[in-house]
Amino acid sequence: MGLLSLGTPLHWNEAKGYADHVRKHGIEQFLHIYNYQKDRQTQQLLWGDEIEYIVVKFNDEEKTTKLSLRAFDILEKLEKPEHDWLVGIEKEPPAALWRPEYGRYMIEGTPGLPYGATFRDLVGVEDNMKLRRKMAHAAMDPDEHAVSLVNYPRLGCPNQLYPDHEPNGPACQSMFVPDQIINPHARFPTLTANIRRRRGSKVQINMPIFHDVNTPKPFIDPTIPWDRDLFKHDKEAKEGAALPDHIYMDAMAFGMGCCCLQITFQACNIDEGRRLYDQLAPVAPLMMALSANSPIYRGYLADVDARWNVISASVDDRTPEERGLKPLKDSKYVINKSRYDSIDSYLSNDSTYKSKYDDIDLVYDQDIYQKLRDSGVDDKLAKHVAHLFIRDPLVIFKELLNVDDSQSSDHFENLQSTNWQTMRFKPPPPNSSIGWRVEFRSMEVQISDFENAAYSVFIVLLTRVILSFGLNFYIPISKVDANMQTAHKRDAVLNEKFYFRKNVFTSRTPTGNAQPNPESVQDEDAYELMTLNEIVNGKENGFPGFVPLIHSYLNSTNIDIETRCKLSSYLSLISKRASGELMTGAAYLRQFVQNHPAYKKDSVVSDEITYDLVKRADQIAKGEYHPKELLGDFNA
């Protein structure tokens, strides 16, 4: 979750008075980093993945599962090798780093050190992921397991937690989950409560329910305590927050409690980072659809396969004015999106960039923009930062209000790390040897490490192909947004089409050249709706496809046969997911529920089904069960 500082977090009523202070110093801190690091060159690619897990407790006699809220006890053990290394007791760096996440039932693991740029490094990823899973198990009670499902199917249903608690906490005020589900570090309950306070109501999450033959229509959820009268916000559900035919959720945990697979790359310099940011932005929705793995929420089958909109709504702190529901009076802007959403603007000054691609009316702080421009920051980067800074800092620690802006990036990170977008442009931390990085954030975590490695390696190879072939994936950014919504749809891989650029080999002409004729420009920038199969595997007389492009890149390199075979198996998984030959995790989980003998065709994912499903996911991850429809013949 980025920055974790200690101190006394301020209630929203007090925090909002310091918002401008944090923004002002955040910009000073950004400028300090920018001025010192803008010319920085790093030679080699470094990159790393982040995998989040849920901790599940199995009772194999009763055939029940519970979400274990013991992540902090577990993390203490997992983080020890890192601490020992940092203080010099241990000479070798740890094999993995472990971090807390939003949910008290979540852990996040990354490689101990970032991976390098060799093909051997790529082959080591899966082993490291498997090792992490073993380490996690070793730090847990024997009946606990680290499961890489995006979410726990019955999160928010009664009796799902260990230890159990009633849903009556003041921070989230949820009718479904208790505050004990939140990471106990002061930052997280405060973030939760301040989002609600700033917004003026509880967060409101509605995902369409999957209507099966016995699902009532309209579906009015009988499990919502419609008449609860514990908090003033309780009446919201029946006053319209809970939509019919939807799975209603009312707390940040439903979203921020979801597990993602994220990849961070270090670029050679700031310009390459900005270019990768732009080129990967249109890829983000495509990869979400290809990695879709979350068809169940709060005990019901949903009519979507992916999590993004749940998380987006789960942290939507916009005031009614910002959401455009009331005329602007106290708020400064109408804001089109939640803080957790797809990016609104491109970032590169690359010669293939054209301003027409930025067809979303960007909301940004004019004063901050001007300040950045006056300090020598170019238009696009200034707009990017001024856009992040339209948000208020949600958690402010009293003790950390005044810091040395040349030494700290706390205030910058306060805004930066709570703009949770599909892409994140990460400046170097102050006084570090780390370079400019880009994070790819849209993918859903996969059940097995073979899959997680395949998706990670695929993205790394794609970045190499983009850079060495000079590919151009630009389409209007509003079309990227449209793709993001399409990507949620049930079986989007099989049934939907996505906007994608027709000609990705556009020449990179230096600006100032003679104008080509307008018709060929028109043509050159054309995009069309394509299936994921066409985008990944190629289209006859059209786009060659990601996987064939990666193969031709690999053909041009010196790579041993064993490594090539491993990489080919990863590419083949992605290719077969895109063609429909193999199922996505979401399709597999949905089918698992629908084929379960206890399923009543009423969309309900019961305790019994949940036990079998989570157990199955764990068995798949450990190689004890091999579903061919999900993994094919690959050795997972």
DSSP state of 444: B
Q: How many CB atoms lie within 10 A of CB 188?
A: 25
Distance between CA atoms of residues 290 and 547, nearest Å: 13
Q: Residue 170: how many CB atoms within 10 A of its CB? A: 11
Q: Which residue in the shown chain puts its C-beta closest to Mg ion?
A: 262
Shortest separation between residue 411's beta carbon and ligand ADP, angstroms: 16
Selected binder of ligand ADP within 103, 109, 111, 285 (CB under 6 A): 111
**Which residue's CB is nearer to Mg ion, number 262 or number 422?**
262
State how far the Cα of 473 lies from the Cα of 466, in Å rounded to an integer. 9
> What b-and-e string marks burial along 237-271, b requiring 16 or more CB atoms within 10 Å of the CB?
beeebbbebbbbbbbbbbbbbbbbbbbbbbbbbbe
- The residue from 234, 316, 439, 444 that contacts ligand ADP (CB under 6 A) is 439
Q: How far is the CB of 192 from ligand ADP (least distance, A)?
A: 19
- Comparing CB distances to ligand ADP, the nearer of 48 and 169 is 48
Going residue by residue from 415 to 434, which x/- string records binding to ligand ADP, judged by CB under 6 A? -------------------x
612 binds ligand ADP per the rule CB under 6 A = no
Q: 299 or 427: whose CB is closer to ligand ADP?
A: 427
Which of Mg ion, ligand ADP, none sits in contact with 183, Cβ below 5 to 8 A by type? none
Q: Is residue 511 exposed (0-12), middle (13-18) or buried (19+ Cβ within 10 Å)? A: exposed
49 binds Mg ion, rule: CB under 5 A: no
- Measured on CA atoms in the order 182, 184, 187, 190, is the torsion positive or negative? positive
Name the residue whose CB lies closest to ligand ADP: 48
Pairing of strands 64-68, 161-162: parallel
Q: Are 276 and 348 in contact (CB under 8 A)?
A: no
Q: Is residue 50 at the binding interface for Mg ion, with CB under 5 A as the rule?
A: yes
Query: Helices 561-579 and 283-290 sit at what angle, rounded to 10 degrees?
Result: 80
Find the part of the chain contacting ligand ADP (CB under 6 A) among 47-55, 63-71, 174-182, 596-604.
47-55
Binding to ligand ADP in span 233-292, by CB under 6 A: 262, 264-266
Residue from the set 5, 174, 262, 314 that interacts with Mg ion by CB under 5 A: 262
Instruction: Judge residue 522's burial from the number of C-beta atoms within 10 Å of its C-beta, 0-12 exposed, 13-18 middle, 19 or more buried.
Output: exposed
Residue 455 near ligand ADP by CB under 6 A: no
Query: Does residue 445 contact residue 630 with C-beta atoms inside 8 Å?
Result: no
Q: In what helix (H) or strand (E) does residue 192 lie, and over which residues does it extend?
A: helix 187-199
Kindly state the greatest CA–CA separation across the chain.
76
Q: What string marks each residue from 569 to 588 as x (binds ligand ADP by CB under 6 A) or -?
A: --------------------
Task: Output the smallest distance, CB 556 to Mg ion, in A.
Answer: 31
Extract the tokens encoding 410: 């706390």
> How many positions of this chain bind Mg ion (CB under 5 A)?
3
Does 117 bind ligand ADP (CB under 6 A)? Our answer is no
Using CB under 6 A as the binding rule, whether residue 46 contacts ligand ADP is answered as yes
Shortest distance, CB of residue 398 to Mg ion, whole angstroms? 24
Q: How far is the CB of 439 from Mg ion (least distance, A)?
A: 5
Interaction residues for Mg ion, span 95-134 (CB under 5 A): 108
Spatial distance between the Cα atoms of 527 and 87, rounded to a whole number of angstroms: 54
The phi-psi region of residue 9 (left if phi > 0; otherwise alpha if psi is between -120 and 50; otherwise beta) is beta
Shortest distance, position 533 Cβ to ligand ADP, whole Å = 30
List 25, 32, 57, 99, residue binding ligand ADP (CB under 6 A)? 99
Work out whether 48 is an interface residue with ligand ADP (CB under 6 A). Answer: yes
Least distance to ligand ADP, CB of residue 47, Å: 5
DSSP string across 572-585? HHHHHHHHTSS--H
Residue 616, judged by CB atoms within 10 A of its CB (0-12, 13-18, 19+), counts as middle
Q: Among 45-53, 235-243, 305-313, 459-467, which window interacts with ligand ADP (CB under 6 A)? A: 45-53
Binding site for ligand ADP (CB under 6 A): 2, 46-50, 99, 110-111, 114, 262, 264-266, 434, 437, 439
Binding site for Mg ion (CB under 5 A): 50, 108, 262
